[in-house]
Amino acid sequence: MIDFTRRPGDLNRLPASGQLAPPRGAPVVSQRPQFDGVCSVIAWSSVSSSISASIFGFSGVPQSATKPFFDELSGQRQAIPPIWMMRQAGRYLPEYRDVRAKAGGFLDLCFNPELAAEVTLQPIRRFGFDAAIIFSDILVIPYALGRSVRFEVGEGPRLEPPDDPAKVAALAPQADFGKLAPVFEALRIVRAALDPKVALIGFCGAPWTVATYMVAGQGTPDQAPARMMAYRHPEAFAKIIDILVENSIQYLLAQLAAGADALQIFDTWAGVLPPTEFACWSVEPTRRIVEGVRAKVPDAKIIGFPRGAGAQLPGYVETTGVNAVSIDWTAEPAFIRERVQTRVAVQDNLDPLVLITGGAALDRAVDNVLANFGQGRLIFNLGHGIQPETPIAHVEQMLKRVRG
């Protein structure tokens, strides 16, 4: 099994299998709940979590009153909201482009611990954000499950699709976490390098969003292939979700053990689902992940990002138990203040295009976010990832405006 207590540079001592196995007599951390609605027809499989002994012995998340981001998640409103950006390590930074060229392919960068740590730290050095997010990708779980995953330049991810029940039946139930050891190594490197005031975020893709890429074999305008499979073959699609839930729990626990202070679950394609399917394929799997992580780390701080959820956000927050919810720029402010921010911190929601625009438009947009949400618990962020063409000066302008 993987020893998550290893120091940076110990990759050469990884076991050949890399499999995570529970200690003798350890309890299963996640079981299928019973629930109503469309999901009640699903004959769920019997996949169970197997967590490494070191994770079972892990007592909690490193906590410090000096981390504004972590304190905000813990219920302590900050006078100046903590700030970071989704995709803050990215192509808008010349130093990132230099490292990416050195690494070669995208996955080569993700799985090189030293280089992944370097690009994770670059935006912290340049901008002084309150949180770093480990450089990786939501599709590393399918890769660890033995699926073919590659990234085509200018086209995005390409996967080997399990697009019919027979192919789904052949899916491996347990990921080979040895393949993801470089991610845990990068987390340890970053944790050691960060200022104690800066939080470190680990993450995974939500099962629904990861499944949409798996079934289609790539990104599509509305992820219709996965939606159609969920309608036509709900039992087969449920098996994909089930496998992703259980392995995501293990993956997130391993990130906490490697030094992450908090976690984010990215459900980029949640907004394409009708309400009943949203409850089944987005909310319920996320709830199970949160429950599974907290079965081992009760104080784990978790942010959900069901992009495009809109009016379904209150139900998502209540059911999943997340500590914060990230919202996009289309969310109605009064609704979020009254129905969401009264329960959890909100992470929002600047339009990435206004960050490209800059000038007076950017100042107004930043002021609007602060006016709408600044009286409650707020983590300032974008409504989605920063775009490659964003000028660095505009990021500096945003930071100056937020921090006064």
Is the pLDDT at 18 greater than 80, yes or no?
A: no
- Token pair 């969920």 is found at 230
Q: What is the C-alpha to C-alpha distance for residues 25 and 258, in angstroms, rounded to an integer?
A: 24
Does position 31 have pLDDT exceeding 90, yes or no? Answer: no
Residue 325 has pLDDT above 50, yes or no: yes
The rounded distance, in Å, linking the Cα atoms of 340 and 361 is 27
Q: pLDDT class for 61, splitting at 50, 70, 90?
A: low
In the residue annotation, 36 being an active-site residue is answered as no
Q: Dihedral, CA atoms, 136, 137, 143, 147, nearest 10 degrees?
A: -160
Q: State the average pLDDT for the chain.
A: 88
How far is it, in rounded angstroms, from Cα 378 to Cα 324?
A: 9
- Catalytic residue from among 213, 227, 287, 377: 213
Binding-site members are: 87-91, 137, 213, 268, 384
Known catalytic membership, residue 188: no
**154, pLDDT greater than 60:** yes
In the chain, domain spans: 11-403
Residue 50 pLDDT class (50, 70, 90 cuts): very low
Instruction: Examine the pLDDT at 76 and tell me if it is beyond 50.
Output: yes
pLDDT of res. 152: 85
The tens digit of pLDDT for each residue in 88-97 reads: 999 999 999 9
Q: What is the pLDDT of residues 256-285, one digit of tens each?
A: 999 999 999 999 999 999 999 999 999 999
Whether 98 is catalytic = no
Average pLDDT value for residue range 99-128 = 97
| Selected catalytic residue, list 71, 92, 96, 100 | 100
pLDDT mean over 25-34: 37
Closest to 139 (Cα-Cα) out of 104, 165, 175: 175
Residue 82 clears pLDDT 60, i.e. is over it: yes
pLDDT in tens, 184-196: 999 999 999 999 9
Q: Is 307 a catalytic residue?
A: no
pLDDT at residue 59 in the model: 42
**Averaged pLDDT, 247-256:** 98
Can you tell me the mean pLDDT for 290-310? 98
H/E element, 119: helix 113-127
Number of H helices, E strands in the chain: 18, 9
| pLDDT tens digits along 329-354 | 999 999 999 999 999 999 989 999 99
Residues in the chain: 404
- Annotated binding-site positions for substrate: 87-91, 137, 213, 268, 384
For the question of residue 91 being annotated catalytic, the response is: yes
Fold of the domain built from segment(s) 11-403: TIM Barrel (3.20.20)
Least confident of 19-28, 117-126, 317-326: 19-28
| Catalytic member of 108, 137, 176, 363 | 137
149: CB partners within 8 A, 6+ apart = 107, 139, 140, 142, 143, 157, 158, 159, 160
Q: What pLDDT does residue 371 have?
A: 98
Q: Which of 7-21, 44-58, 242-256 has the highest mean pLDDT?
A: 242-256
